[in-house]
C-alpha cells in the first residue's frame, strides 16, 4: 500500500525556483576571467538559467544530451548548472587541468553536443576543436567585446546567445532518476571514467549538505566556492546554496593567495571550501604580509577535502583565523560526501592533543552513506580504529557504475562500491585513510601504508618529495622501496633517511632500499603517478634479497 | 537516460540502523507512565525495534497492515515507530485526547490489527475494546508487574511479547512510496480524516529538519520531545534524532510545569518542541518559583507550533531563558513543516520592535514546500504582506488526499493542497496566518479575520474568552457577532467591549452585536468549535439590519 503524499519528483530546477522565489535579491558575486567583478542575484541567475534552457532548445539539445563546460566558477557556469540540467540535458563539467589528449578523449566519450568554455581556454579549444567530432557549437562564456579570435567552427558568444532567448520557460517534470550531470574521474590508471549523477542523487546529497553534522549551510551564509565547479559539482555547494538562498562568491580563475584573501575580505565570506593546495597558497600570501590579521576576515568555517588535512593547516585555521575546519573524505563517485569530520558531544572538554587526533581523521559517517572495511576476501573487518581494509560505500548518492559501462560492474553482492582506498574505522564511526588499495605494500600477509612511510620520509628537512612502492620479494611477497627527491642543496643520504624513519614507523615498515632521484612522475592533477613508478622499478634488485 | 547512481530506497529502517551504528551509546531517556525514569540508547532502541518487527510477524501483521498506538512519548513508542514502519506495516498513532467515540471511529476506520496502549489508557481501552472489531490483540506497553487488571480479550504484555522475539531481523527493502504511518486530523467538521505518510515523504521531511534554516538538529543536541508522538509524528523529531544520533528525552505523560522543568534541568536539554499550552504551564510553575533562573537550564532553542506564538511567550524565552524561539506553521497534512520562522541576514541589526513583528509571523518558506495564496476564484495573490487569501501548499511531504478517499480529491489543478487557512505572504516569503478559511467573515466582498477581532476582545481585562462568527446580513452578506465569556466577578458590558475594540481593529471590522454567554463549545483538543456556534446563532437578529 502506497502512502498518500504528493508524488513530486526531486529536480534540480526546484532549487533555482526556490532561491529565486524566497531569496530573489541575495547576491551572487563573480570574479570573471575577464578580470572584473560581476554582481547578480538568485533572480538574475534564474533568468539566465531559463534563457540557457531555451538556448538548449534552439541548439537542438534534447533531454539526455550532453553539454560540456570548460569553465571556472562564475555566475555563467552557475546558470549552466541550472539551465542545462533543469532542461533535462546533462551538464558535463570537464576538468581543464587534464592533459589535452584526456580532454579530447572525455569530450568524445561523452559525445558532448555543445561545448561552453571560458575565454581562458580559448587556445585549448582552438587546438582541440578539430578532434571534437560530436560538438556542434562552441560557446565562449563572455560578451561580444571579449570574444576570442580563434578559428573554431560554430563559435558563439554566450551573452548574445542568451540575450536572444525568452526569460519564460517551464521546467519539465522529469523522472527524478534522469541523468543531470556528468563528471569524469582523472584516475591514475587507464582512461578517465564518467560518473553520471541523477537529479535524485543530487537533491538528496544537497539536503544532507545543510545538516550541521556536515557543512551546515544556511541562508545566513556567504559561501565562497574555491573548489572548482568541474570537481564533483564543486562538492555540491552550488546546489546547497540555492536550496537555502545563501550568498555565493565565485572567484573564477583567480585562486592565488592574494586574490583569495582579497575576495574573502571584501565580500565578508563566512564559509569557504577548497583543497589543501589552495589554502597553502593563501598561507604563503599571509606569510609575506604579516601585517594582516586573518581573524579580521571573520570567516567561520573552512571546508577541506580532496586530500588529508595536515596538523599545521588545521591549527593555523583554528588559531590564526578563529575558524572551524570541516574536513571531509569523498570522491567524484560519492557526490562527494563520504564522511565528514565533525566532533561529537563526547569530545567536549577533551585534552586538546587527543582532540587533534580525532580532527585529523577524515571524518564520521553520515546518514545516507553506509560504510564497511573488508579484507582481501571481502569479509567485514571490525571498527576498532586498528584493523584496516578496503573501504566500501553504499547509498543513494554513491555511483553504481561508470558511464557507458566502462570498468564493468563494480558493486559487491551487498551493493557496496569499492572506493579503492584502504582505511580504518573506529568505534565512533570515524574513518581514517591508510592508503590507496593499489599502493599498499603487501608484506608477509600484512599491509604497509605507503602514505605513512612517505609522510615520515617527507618530514626530513632534506627531503623535497618521497614515494614508496612495493617491489617483489621472494620471501615477503613485496617489500617497500623508497624514492627520494632531495631539496636543492641538501646533504642527505640513505642512512640519514633510514635513521629518521626508524623513530617514526614500525621496524618492519622500514624500506628495504632508498633511491635518490631527480624527480617523480605526476598526473595532470598533481597526484603521484605510482603506476609509472612501479613500471620503472619493477625489477629493482632489493639488497635484502 | 537515467543517472548511474545507486538505486537505494528512502526507508525509515535506515534511520535506526544509522543511529545504532554511528551513535550506539547515545542515550534515550524516558519518563514512563509508571513514574520511573528509564534509560536506553540507540543500540537498545534498534534491538527493541527489531523485536517489534519480529513480533509483527508473530502477530500476523503483514506489510500495509495498520497497527494502532494510544501512547505517550517513551522509548517503547519509539521502538514501535521503527519496528512497525520498518517491517512494512503502518504505524497508526491515535490521539488519546479525542472523544472516545472519535477513537472508536478512527480505529475502526483504519482497521487496526493490533492496538498498543500505555497503562494510562487501560480504562479507556477496556471501555472501547468491544467495539474495536478489527483489533486482534491489545498490547499494554509495560512490564508484567504493571499489567492493568482489565477485561480485554487477547491482552498482551509489551515487554513479554518483545522479550520472546529474536533480536535478529533483516529490514525489508520496501518501495519507498510504501505507507509508513497514519495520523488522523481531529478537525472541527465531520469525522476525523487520515493522513497516510510514506517512507519517502518521511525521509525527505527528516532531511529538511536538519537544516539550520528549520530546526538545525544535530548530533550535539539533547532533544526533549514535548510535542506528543501522536501529533504528526511528534513533528518528525523522532526520525531526525535518529538521522543524526541526537540524545532524546521523552517525558511520557508528565507534561505539567514542574515535571517539564525538572526533566529539562536534570537532562540538560538543549532543544525542546511543543505547543504554546505546555509552555504556559511551564511559565506558571516558574511564576510560583521565582527563585529559579531559567537561564541556568542552558536550553538553546525552543520550537513552537500548533498555534501562533504570542509576543509574551517569545520575549519570555528570549529574555529569561536566553533561548531562540523557532516558530513554525504546519499541519498533520504537511508532515508538519510548512513554514519556519528563521531570520535572514538582512534582519541583522534591525530595530528590535520591527524585528519582533518578523518573528511573530509564522515563518518563511523552505525548499520542498511551494506556497501560494489565492482568492475565491483560485487566482494567485501578490506577496506583499497585505493581500490575504486561501493558503495552498505543494511538495513531497504534503498530503495528496486522505485515507480511503475521505473528502474526495483535494488538490487543485497545479497539485496544490488547500490548507483551509487564510494568510498573507510578504516579499521575503514570510507567511502570516489571518484566519481559518471557514471562520473568516465575508463582509461586502472583503474578509474580516475572526481571530484578530477575538484577540482584540480577549485583551480586555474583563474578558475570559471571546469568539467571533459571521451572521447573515442582507446588505453585507455577513457581519461579525462577538460572543464573550466574562471573567468571574468582572464588570464589563457591550459598550465597554466595543470601545475597547474601536482602538484596536478597523472600524468596519467592529462586531454588529455582542452577546455575553456562560461558556463556549470546544473540540476534544481544546479548539473553539465554531461550527456549533454558527448553528446556534445562525438566526441571531443583528441590531444593524
- Partner residue opposite A180 with nearest CB, options B3, B204, B365: B3
A 83-112 residues with CB below 8 A of B?
90
Contact B417 A365 (CB under 8 A): no
A138 contact B CB<8A: no
Per-residue pLDDT, averaged over B371-378, amounts to 94
Closest CA to B365 of B477, B213, B518: B213
Q: What is the 3-state secondary structure (H, E, C) of B281-298?
A: HHHHHHHHCCCCCHHHHC
CB neighbours of residue A11 within 10 Å = 23
For residue B431, give the chain A residue with the closest CA: A22
pLDDT tens, position by position, B255-301: 999 999 999 999 999 999 998 889 999 999 999 999 999 999 999 99
Chain B residues touching A394 at Cβ < 8 A:
6, 8
Closest to A400 (Cα-Cα) out of B203, B2, B243, B171: B2
Inform me whether the pLDDT recorded for B111 exceeds 80.
yes
Which residue among A15, A211, A247 places its CB closest to the CB of B367?
A15
pLDDT at B163: 98
Question: How much is the pLDDT for A187?
Answer: 63
- CB B7 to CB A401 under 8 A? no
Cβ of B396 within 8 Å of Cβ of A4? The answer is no
- Hey, which residues of A are catalytic here? 185, 333, 442, 447
Q: Residue B5 and residue A344: Cβ atoms within 8 Å?
A: no
The answer to whether the Cβ–Cβ distance between A179 and B3 falls below 8 Å is: yes
| Rounded Cα distance, B230 and B218, in Å | 23
CA distances from A88 to A140, A223, A331, A500, B414 (A): 22, 27, 25, 57, 21
B199 at the A interface (CB within 8 A)? Answer: yes
A281-284 contacts at long range (C-beta below 8 A, 24 or more positions apart): A281/A255, A281/A256, A281/A257, A282/A257, A283/A257, A283/A313, A283/A316, A284/A257
- B491 vs B489: CA distance, rounded Å: 7
What's the predicted TM-score (pTM) here? 0.93
Task: State the pLDDT at residue B277.
Answer: 86
Q: For the residues B145-152, what does the mean pLDDT come to?
A: 97
Going by the DSSP 8-state scheme, the letter that residue B397 receives in this structure is: T
Percent of chain B with pLDDT over 90: 87
Residues of chain A short of pLDDT 50, as ranges, are none
Q: What is the pLDDT of residue B471?
A: 94
Scanning every residue of chain A, which has its alpha carbon at the shortest distance from the alpha carbon of B11?
A368
What residues in A contact B218, CB-CB < 8 Å? 211-213, 216
The per-residue pLDDT for A522 is 85
A335, A395, A402 ranked by CB distance to B4: nearest: A402
DSSP H helices, A228-325, are 232-235, 237-244, 257-266, 276-288, 311-316
Judge whether B216 is closer than 8 Å to chain A, CB to CB. Answer: yes
What CA–CA distance (Å, rounded) separates B255 from B285?
A: 12
DSSP-assigned beta bridge partners for residue A178: B2
Residue B509 vs residues A241, B146, B446, B512: alpha-carbon distances, Å? 44, 57, 10, 9
Compute the distance between CA of residue B101 and CA of residue B107 in angstroms, rounded to an integer. Answer: 10
- Residue A82, chain B, CB below 8 Å: the answer is no
- Residue contacts between A and B (CB atoms, under 8 Å): 201
pLDDT of residue A150: 97
Sort out which chain B residues have CB atoms less than 8 A from A411's CB and list them. Answer: 6
Is A6 buried (19+), middle (13-18) or exposed (0-12) by CB count in 10 A?
buried
pLDDT of residue B8: 97
Distance in angstroms (rounded) separating the CA atoms of residues A343 and B195: 38
Q: DSSP states of B88-104 as a string?
A: T-EEEE--TTS-HHHHH
Mean pLDDT of chain B: 95
Q: Which of B544, B398, B523 is nearest to B481 (CA)?
A: B544
Tell the residue number behind the cell numbers 553536443, with chain if given: A113
**Res. B462 pLDDT band, cuts 50 70 90:** very high
Q: Residues, chain A, total?
A: 545
Task: Name the helix (H) or strand (E) containing B456.
Answer: helix B450-458
Q: Considering CB atoms only, which of B177, B208, B342 is closest to A3?
A: B177
For residue B447, the model assigns a pLDDT of 86
Q: Are A1 and B178 in contact (CB < 8 Å)?
A: yes
Rg of the Cα atoms in chain A? 24
Mutation test of the interface with chain A: which of B1, B64, B218, choosing the one with the most A Cβ atoms within 10 A? B1
Residue among A6, A18, A200 minimizing CB distance to B400? A6
> Residue range B420-426: average pLDDT?
95
Would the CB atoms of B396 and A6 count as touching at under 8 Å? yes
Quote the CA–CA distance of B277 and B97 in Å, as a whole number. 14
CB A82 within 8 Å of CB A69: no
The kind and range of the H/E element at B83 are helix B75-87
> What are the pLDDT digits (tens) for B340-371?
999 999 999 999 999 999 999 999 999 999 99
Q: How far apart are CA B19 and CA B245, in angstroms?
A: 5
For residue A191, the model assigns a pLDDT of: 86
Query: What's the pLDDT score for residue A435?
Result: 87
CA angle B481, B487, B493 (to 5 degrees): 50
CB A183 within 8 A of CB A197: yes
Return all residues near A536 (Cβ < 8 A) that are at least 6 apart: none
- The residue of chain B nearest to residue A210, with distances taken between CA atoms, is B211
What tens digit of pLDDT does each residue of B42-85 get?
999 999 999 999 999 999 999 999 999 999 999 999 999 999 99
Closest chain A C-alpha to B324 CA, distance in angstroms:
16
The CA distances from residue A537 to A454, A541, B368, in Å, are 17, 9, 56
**At residue A255, what are phi and psi to the nearest 5 degrees?**
-110, 10
What CA–CA distances, in Å, run from A2 to A337, B196, B200, B202, B235?
Answer: 30, 8, 10, 13, 21
Q: B175: which chain A residues are within 8 Å (Cβ-Cβ)?
A: 2
Closest C-alpha to A16, from A335, A248, A239: A239
Catalytic residue among B318, B442, B525, B531: B442
ipTM: 0.92
As a whole number of angstroms, the distance between CA A237 and CA A229 comes to 9
Query: Per the residue annotation, which of B185, B258, B315, B438 is the catalytic one?
Result: B185
Amino acid at each position: 500500500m502506497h502512502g498518500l503524499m504528493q508524488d513530486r519528483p526531486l529536480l534540480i530546477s526546484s532549487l533555482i525556483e526556490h532561491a529565486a522565489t524566497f531569496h530573489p535579491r541575495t547576491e551572487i558575486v563573480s570574479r570573471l576571467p575577464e578580470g572584473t567583478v560581476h554582481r547578480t542575484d538568485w533572480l538574475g541567475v534564474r533568468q539566465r538559467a531559463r534563457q540557457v534552457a531555451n538556448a538548449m532548445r534552439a541548439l537542438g539539445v534534447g533531454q539526455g544530451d550532453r553539454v560540456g563546460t570548460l569553465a571556472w566558477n562564475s555566475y555563467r557556469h552557475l546558470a549552466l548548472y541550472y539551465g542545462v540540467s533543469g532542461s533535462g540535458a546533462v551538464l558535463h563539467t570537464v576538468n581543464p587541468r587534464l592533459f589535452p589528449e584526456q580532454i579530447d578523449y572525455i569530450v568524445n566519450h561523452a559525445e558532448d553536443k555543445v561545448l561552453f568554455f571560458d575565454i581562458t581556454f580559448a587556445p585549448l579549444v582552438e587546438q582541440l576543436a578539430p578532434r571534437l567530432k560530436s560538438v556542434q557549437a562552441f560557446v565562449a562564456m563572455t560578451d561580444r567585446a571579449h570574444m576570442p579570435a580563434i578559428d573554431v567552427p560554430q563559435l558563439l558568444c554566450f551573452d548574445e546567445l542568451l540575450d536572444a532567448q525568452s526569460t519564460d520557460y517551464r521546467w519539465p517534470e522529469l523522472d527524478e532518476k534522469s541523468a543531470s550531470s556528468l563528471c569524469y574521474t582523472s584516475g591514475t590508471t587507464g582512461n578517465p571514467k564518467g560518473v553520471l549523477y541523477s537529479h535524485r542523487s543530487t537533491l538528496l546529497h544537497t539536503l544532507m549538505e545543510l545538516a550541521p553534522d556536515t557543512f551546515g549551510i544556511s541562508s545566513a551564509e556567504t559561501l565562497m566556492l574555491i573548489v572548482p565547479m568541474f570537481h564533483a559539482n564543486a562538492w555540491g555547494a552550488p546546489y546547497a546554496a540555492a536550496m537555502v538562498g545563501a550568498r555565493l562568491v565565485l572567484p573564477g580563475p583567480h585562486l592565488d593567495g592574494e586574490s583569495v584573501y582579497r575576495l574573502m575580505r571584501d565580500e565578508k565570506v563566512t564559509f569557504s571550501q577548497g583543497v589543501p593546495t589552495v589554502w597553502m597558497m593563501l598561507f604563503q600570501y599571509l606569510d609575506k604580509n604579516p601585517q594582516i590579521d586573518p581573524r579580521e576576515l571573520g570567516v567561520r568555517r573552512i571546508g577541506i577535502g580532496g586530500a588529508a588535512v595536515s596538523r599545521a593547516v588545521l591549527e593555523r585555521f583554528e588559531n590564526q583565523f578563529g575558524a572551524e575546519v570541516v574536513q571531509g573524505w569523498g570522491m567524484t563517485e560519492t557526490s562527494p560526501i563520504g564522511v565528514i569530520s565533525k566532533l561529537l558531544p563526547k569530545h567536549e572538554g577533551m585534552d586538546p592533543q587527543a582532540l587533534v587526533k580525532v580532527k585529523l581523521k577524515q571524518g564520521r559517517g553520515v546518514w545516507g552513506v553506509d560504510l564497511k572495511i573488508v579484507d582481501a576476501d571481502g569479509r567485514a573487518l571490525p571498527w576498532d580504529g586498528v584493523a584496516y581494509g578496503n573501504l566500501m560505500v553504499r547509498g543513494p548518492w554513491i555511483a553504481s557504475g561508470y558511464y557507458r559501462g566502462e570498468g564493468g560492474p563494480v558493486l559487491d553482492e551487498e551493493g557496496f562500491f569499492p572506493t579503492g582506498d584502504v582505511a580504518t574505522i573506529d568505534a565512533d564511526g570515524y574513518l581514517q585513510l591508510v592508503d590507496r588499495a593499489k599502493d599498499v605494500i603487501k608484506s608477509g600477509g600484512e599491509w604497509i601504508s605507503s602514505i605513512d612511510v612517505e609522510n615520515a620520509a617527507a618530514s626530513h628537512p632534506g627531503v623535497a618529495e618521497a614515494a614508496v612502492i612495493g617491489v617483489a620479494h621472494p620471501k615477503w611477497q613485496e617489500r617497500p622501496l623508497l624514492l627520494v627527491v632531495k631539496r636543492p642543496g641538501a646533504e642527505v643520504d640513505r642512512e640519514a633517511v633510514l635513521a629518521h624513519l626508524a623513530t617514526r614507523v614500525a621496524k618492519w615498515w622500514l624500506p628495504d632500499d632508498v633511491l635518490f632521484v631527480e624527480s617523480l612522475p605526476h598526473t595532470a592533477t598533481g597526484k603521484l603517478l605510482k603506476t609509472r613508478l612501479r613500471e620503472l622499478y619493477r625489477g629493482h634488485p632489493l639488497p635484502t634479497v
